[in-house]
Amino acid sequence: MLPLRTLRKIVLAKCYVDHSRSIGTSGVMYQNAMKFTFASPGQVFYSEANIKQVDVPSMSGNFGILANHVPMLAVLAPGVVNIFETEGDSKKYFVSSGTITVNDDSSVQVLAEEAVPVAHLDRQAARDGLTEAQQRLNSASGDIARAEAQIAVDTFEALVKASE
């Protein structure tokens, strides 16, 4: 009988080889684009469009997604989603929160609670909102009120940064 450690190595090696083979023969490997969907409750910005890359802000930091990215789920953090289209254009959107899904067929979905083109942001309104949110945080009593105020501060800080 094989020791458990050896058995694990064999099983993991087989999984790795099988997974690599499936990616290599999927046809996506030869493309430089991925299917991209980006929407908020009020608007669809992209619907299965071919793009080169998307950079997203997540709770674990900013990262870029290209074709053949490892499948994953992530939570959007307040910040800028930067979309690099296949024609070479780049578009930026501010998002407040949401989810990112990367599928094994190189399709990506970004679903935002709120999204707006960065060009439409009002810098002064963002600064005023940040000041108000900081005042609410300073005067918050109770854990829930503090948490809600901190979320507002984080979002307005990201808005101010994106609008500059």
Each residue's pLDDT tens digit, 127-163: 999 999 999 999 999 999 999 999 999 999 999 999 8
Question: Do the Cβ atoms of 79 and 66 come closer than 8 Å?
Answer: no
User: Which residues are CB-neighbours of 143 under 8 A, at least 6 positions away?
Assistant: none
User: Which residues are CB-neighbours of 66 under 8 A, at least 6 positions away?
Assistant: 34, 52, 53
Dist CA 122 CA 131 (whole Å): 14
Q: Which amino acid is at 159?
A: L
- Which two three-digit tokens encode residue 17? 């080889």
Dist CA 46 CA 126 (whole Å): 26
The yes-or-no verdict on residue 86 having pLDDT over 70 is yes
DSSP type of residue 42: T
The yes-or-no verdict on residue 4 having pLDDT over 80 is no
- Which two three-digit tokens encode residue 18? 């099988």
The yes-or-no verdict on residue 9 having pLDDT over 60 is no
Dist CA 9 CA 34 (whole Å): 33
| Tokens 């950079």 -> residue | 55
131: helix, strand or coil: helix
The string of pLDDT tens digits covering residues 109-132 is 999 999 999 999 999 999 999 999
CATH topology of domain 34-120: ATP Synthase; domain 1 (2.60.15)
Question: Domain boundaries in the chain?
Answer: 34-120, 123-163
HSE of 109, CA atoms in CB hemisphere, 13 A: 11
Dist CA 68 CA 120 (whole Å): 32
Looking at mean pLDDT, say which of 5-9, 12-16, 25-29, 37-41 comes out highest.
37-41
- What global pTM score does this model have? 0.75
The yes-or-no verdict on residue 6 having pLDDT over 80 is no
